[in-house]
Each structure stands twice: as structure tokens, then as C-alpha cells.
A and B are shown apart, each in its own frame.
Chain A
Amino acid sequence: MRQPSAMILDHTRPIRAPRRMQRRKLGLMAQDPRGEHDLSGDLEQAQEKRPTALTEANPAEMALLVEAIAGRRDKTAFASLFGYYAPRLKSYLRRLRADEKEAEDLAQDVMLTVWRKAELFDPAKASVGTWIFTIARNRFIDVKRRQKRPDFDMEDPSLQPEAPRPADAEIAAVQIGARVRAALAELPPDQAQVVALSFIEALPHSEIAARLSIPLGTVKSRLRLAFARLRPALEDML
């Protein structure tokens, strides 16, 4: 398994991996989100101070860290999670067009929610990254857009029944991230691009169409095609 975070730091190596090339096209990597100065210097500095912040998320370890917070209010575990997720949350929030201070404050705020709601995390249902993504997304919509987003209640007993979960679902859930990454890396670049703009910048379909100068129908069909490819990768696991 490749280590995307390590690759960000390695500016000396020529770009060879197809996946990396694709990610670069998406504009997700090695970019200074503020466009102010060279980010690599910051990252190297940050790496010296907090080496744990820049290693790739090991889903099983991340889940254990959240469980350590839920079970025994473990602050060291929290600091590790913070080191990894807070800088990425800030990056995400900047791309949602929060300004520097808002993104900083919201990232800290999301991490505080992780501490307070740790007992609600269920490793059988989502990876830590996915759980934190949903907290950040909801917080942003709530605070910045002032929308009353109807939360889809996963526990709602009136939901249509689904097939019983396999006994090893919990082990499988840990691997979801890897499966999603593999499936994303296989997407044709034009599909991967609309997925990234949709999820990381939360752009409405119409704005993606305007940004890429393509018809609205094309945005929708690319997203549909992308999810038709992603579904098989996920369905037996969730």
C-alpha cells in the first residue's frame, strides 16, 4: 500500500506512479491552499515537531485511538488524532471557502466534538476518517451556511430493513478506506475530478459545470458513472 502523505513530502522524486499523477490533476496534493508561500517548508517543519501527524492513517489504529478516548478519556490518543486530522480538516475547510481563521477555529472545534462524541463512533459502520468528515461537513453547513440540514438518521427504526451484516463486518469496515481509495484511483480522470470537486469543495452540480465549462448533464452523468464504479467496491463491505 502506498503512502500518500509521504509522497507529498517527497518533492525530489519524479512523478511516476499513475495514481499520483491523477491526484495531481485533481489538485488535491502538494498544493498550498492559501497560495501564499511554499507549503513544503511548513510541512517539513511540522514533521520535525509532530512526526505522527504525517504518517498515513492506519484505519485500525485510528479506530483504537477513538476507542481510547471513549473508554478512558485518553488525552495522548486525542493528541495523536489531532495531529493527523486537524491539519487535514483545516485544508478541507479552506477548500469549502472558509477563511484562514474560520478554518482554524472550525478544525479545532470539530476535534473537540471528536473528543466529546467519541462514544458514538462505531468502527463497524465507518472509518474514523469518514466519521470525522461527516462531523466537519455538518458543522460547516450548520455554522457557515446556516442551513438546517435534515440529518439522515442512521438509527431510524422506520428505515427499510437491509440484509443482516456478516459476522466479520467489523474487520471489513476497517478496510473500507483502502477499498475506496483503490476504486477512486481507478476512476477515469474526468470522473475523479467531479467527485473531488463535489466532495472536497462541496460545489453544487451547476457550479462544477461552470468551473469546468461542461454542460450540467455531463456533470451529473460523470458522477453517476463514478458511483456506478464505486458501488461494487463498497457494497459487500457496508
Chain B
Amino acid sequence: MSITHPLGDEWIAAYAAGSLSEGQSVFVASHLSLLPDARKTVSAAEAVGGALLEDLAPDVMAPDALARTLALLDEPVAEAPRPAPRKRDAILPAPLHDWLDRDLDALKWGLLGPGMRKAMLWRGENAERLWMLRAQPGVRIPRHGHSGAEMTLVLKGSFSDRFGTFRRGDVEVTGVDDLHGLTVGTEEECICLALAEGPIRFEGLIPRLLQPFIGL
């Protein structure tokens, strides 16, 4: 498996820096865990954080700070029981699986259109939302645009549009002006994780009429 459409380094940097929203973190960590050499990439970005931390002008700690901390060192620690290692899913990347805390089929899948289901996972500020799409082989998704940026990570199967073909691990990033219609690969169903800001805008009359019910 080779990833031909990886996320830009600015996302990996932001993940390492801790400046992402929860939904964005889940998305980036899921993508990262499907990349070759993901450890290397994350470690490199975190090393930047480590160097910048060491170079910061030190602040002044309270006079009793060290004494107070030393006094706590021998306190017994109530270790939270470690959750039993989860059986890894062939489709859900580990960070997504852990965050969801449930399997794919246990998600609340709602009808999105013919041959398409969606599960809303998270909503954040600025109409940001994280959701999953599950489409039957060969399904065509009508041409649509977005009111904000959208990123789609393929977890199973593939889809194609005018920007290329996207397979497991690939991310498609679309901006406000990137109208596209998708065709799901015919080999198997396609499951994607999507992160969007601003509502999706379908072009045709029927999809537009249906939009209030779709709830994307």
C-alpha cells in the first residue's frame, strides 16, 4: 500500500504542537497511523516543540514550588486501571477506534442518499464536524461544493473525482471552490472519515431540496 495523497506537513506540525481542535486531532492521528514512518514524522515535529521549550525564557516558580513537589513524590499513586487492549480493527485506525470507543457497526448510521450512509461523530466550533461516510461499490455522489474546507480520509475501498483516485490512507483536501462529484470504486464498499467546516452545498435541485434532511 502506498499513500499518494498525504496530508501536508502543516497539519502534522499543528498536531504535534497541540493546536488542533479535537475533531482535527482525531482526523490527523488517524491519517498518521496509516502513513509509513509515522513515528518518525511525529517525533521530528515534537522535537521542534522540545527545542523551543528549552529555549524559552524561564518564568519564576513560587518559592516553595520544589518543596511542595518533593513532598508529593512518595505519595502513593492511584493508578487508573489500564483498559484491556482493544482488538484492532482492520478498517478503523487505532486512534479513531480508541477515540470512538466502539466498533464500526455500533455507530449510528443514518441514510445519506441512495447507497450512502453517514454517521456524525463530533461537532465543534465554526460548524466544524467530523463524520463518516459509508458508500456501496460504484455509487455516484452528485456534484457538490463546500462552504468551508473539507478533508476526506479513505479507510476502505476507493473513490475517484476530477482530482484523482483516493485509496486507503489517502486524504483529499477540497476548498470552497472545488466543486466535485465522486464515484466510488466498484471493487468494494468505500468508508471515509471526513472533517468539514461549513455546510456542504449540492448543486442539483433534488439534492438541494433533500439537503435539510441529510443534515450535513
Chain A residues with a Cβ under 8 A of chain B: 4-5, 8, 23, 28-31, 33, 39, 42-43, 46, 53-54, 56-57, 73, 75, 78-79, 82-83, 86-92, 94-95, 103-104, 107-108, 111-112, 115-116, 125-127, 129-134, 136-138, 140-141, 147-154, 156, 158-163, 176-177, 180-181, 184, 195-196, 198-200, 202-205, 219-221, 223-224, 226-228, 230-231, 234-235, 238
Contact = CB atoms under 8 A, between A and B. Distances in A.
Name the residue in A83, A89, A134 with the highest tally of chain B Cβ atoms < 10 Å from its Cβ: A134
Contact of A227 (B10, B26, B50, B56): B10
A147 B94 contact: no
Contacts of B9: 223-224, 227-228, 231
Given A30-B57, A88-B58, A198 B95 contact: no
Chain A interface secondary structure, helix, strand, loop or mixed? helix
Interface residues of B, number: 62
A112 B50 contact: no
Contact of A199 (B26, B33, B48): B48
Given A43-B58, A126-B43, 7 more contacts: A4-B55, A129-B54, A130-B46, A130-B50, A140-B18, A154-B39, A180-B50
A91 B8 contact: no
Contact of B14 (A151, A153, A198): A198
Nearest to A140: B18
A161 B10 contact: no
Contact of A238 (B40, B77, B94): B40
14 contacts: A78-B70, A129-B51, A130-B46, A141-B18, A150-B29, A150-B98, A152-B95, A156-B94, A159-B38, A160-B36, A180-B50, A195-B52, A202-B19, A219-B10
Most buried by A among B38, B77, B96: B38
A126 B25 CA distance: 21
* Closest CB pairs A-B (n = 5): A130-B50, A87-B58, A227-B9, A150-B95, A223-B10
A23 B120 CA distance: 44
B95 A151 contact: yes
A162 B51 contact: no
B94 A177 contact: no
B111 interface: no
A161 B29 contact: no
